[in-house]
């Protein structure tokens, strides 16, 4: 029994370093809703959940809070990584390019490739993030507060499609133009959120990206997400309602506990 408990604890609380060394995350698997750690402070421990469970049997209010408890740490982990990468990029650009090391050149090359841009100056803007309330609202809308199949089976919060057969992915029950649709499968909540931010950075959301550099007013920013969904303005109205009704603005001040940052 003791050995089983130790093994379980090692799985649930395994602390791992991030790929870019910005933060130490706490990998956590869950078997029931009690394994989702409640948010009890604006300073959040970086739990990176490896799997999710159905919240459909909970009361509406409990389901929504558990969903936020599950998703917000992953949002904050991703944002901390972006801040770290921005700092590295700015430090590099302030340095004489003739003195860049091979490692620094590789860092810049990989970053431009990842964000599909040849413009060094645009990289910083693409690395900006936006208020937690917007991410939470979109997450809630896209996966039905954690009830969608692609969320439950693939950690896919935002219903992001896969067009590459080499991706980890699952097949949708729907088709588009007679062809099957596939959705990406992620190893953790933060990986799903990172891909969401990457989608915003590389997709047709230039106006949104420009505006989020200038200010952090969630209600003003969502107006520039009209082309995120085929529903256009109706989608924007829904995001506004979700933010207002659930007071998601309160989470905009939440951040990762500094004790886990490098």
Helices (H), 128-258: 132-143, 149-154, 189-202, 206-214, 218-221, 233-245
CATH code (residue 223): 1.10.530.10
**Quick check: 9 pLDDT over 60?**
no
Question: What pLDDT digit, counting tens, does each position of 114-150 carry?
Answer: 999 988 878 989 999 999 999 999 999 999 999 999 9
Closest CA to 50 of 36, 65, 66: 36
Angle between helices 189-202 and 120-127 (to 10 degrees): 130
Tell me which long-range contacts 227-230 makes (C-beta under 8 A, separation of at least 24): 228/138
> What value does the mean pLDDT of the chain take?
89
**Quick check: 14 pLDDT over 70?**
no
Q: Tokens at residue 159, please? A: 């219903």
Whole-number pLDDT of residue 122:
86
Closest CA to 143 of 204, 212, 189: 189
Question: What pLDDT digit, counting tens, does each position of 197-246 carry?
Answer: 999 999 999 999 999 999 999 999 999 999 999 899 999 999 999 999 99
Per the structure, the count of domains in the chain is 1
Strand partners, 180: 175
Whole-number pLDDT of residue 177:
65
- Region of 116 (left: φ > 0; alpha: ψ -120 to 50; beta: rest) is left
**Strand 169-176 to 179-184 pairing:** antiparallel
Give mean pLDDT, residues 107-113: 95
**Quick check: 262 pLDDT over 80?**
no
Q: Confidence band (pLDDT; 50, 70, 90) for 21?
A: low
* Structural domain boundaries enclosing 74: 2-260
Question: What pLDDT digit, counting tens, does each position of 42-76 carry?
Answer: 999 999 999 999 998 999 999 999 999 999 999 99
Distance from C-alpha of 68 to C-alpha of 143, rounded to nearest angstrom: 12
Share of the chain above pLDDT 70, in %: 90
Whole-number pLDDT of residue 54:
93
């Amino acid at each position: 029994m003791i050995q089983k408990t130790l093994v379980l604890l090692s799985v649930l609380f395994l602390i791992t370093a991030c790929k870019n060394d910005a933060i130490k995350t706490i990998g956590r698997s869950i078997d029931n809703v009690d394994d989702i750690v409640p948010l009890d402070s604006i300073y959040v421990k970086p739990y990176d959940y490896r799997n999710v469970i159905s919240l459909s049997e909970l009361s509406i209010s409990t389901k929504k809070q558990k969903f936020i408890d599950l998703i917000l740490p992953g949002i904050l982990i991703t944002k901390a990584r972006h801040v770290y990468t921005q700092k590295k990029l700015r430090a590099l650009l302030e340095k004489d390019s003739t003195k860049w090391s091979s490692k620094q050149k590789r860092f810049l090359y990989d970053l431009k490739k990842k964000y599909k841009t040849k413009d060094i100056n645009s990289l910083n803007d693409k690395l900006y993030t936006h208020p937690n309330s917007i991410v939470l609202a979109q997450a809630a809308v896209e996966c039905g507060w954690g009830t969608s199949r692609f969320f439950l089976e693939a950690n896919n919060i935002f219903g992001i499609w896969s067009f590459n057969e080499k991706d980890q992915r699952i097949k949708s029950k729907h088709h588009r133009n007679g062809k099957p649709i596939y959705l990406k499968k992620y190893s953790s909540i933060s990986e799903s959120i990172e891909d969401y931010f990457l989608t915003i950075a590389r997709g047709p959301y230039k106006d949104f990206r420009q505006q989020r550099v200038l200010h952090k007013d969630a209600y003003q920013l969502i107006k520039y997400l009209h082309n995120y969904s085929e529903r256009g303005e109706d989608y924007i109205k829904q995001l506004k309602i979700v933010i207002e009704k659930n007071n998601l603005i309160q989470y905009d001040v939440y951040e990762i506990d500094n004790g886990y940052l490098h």
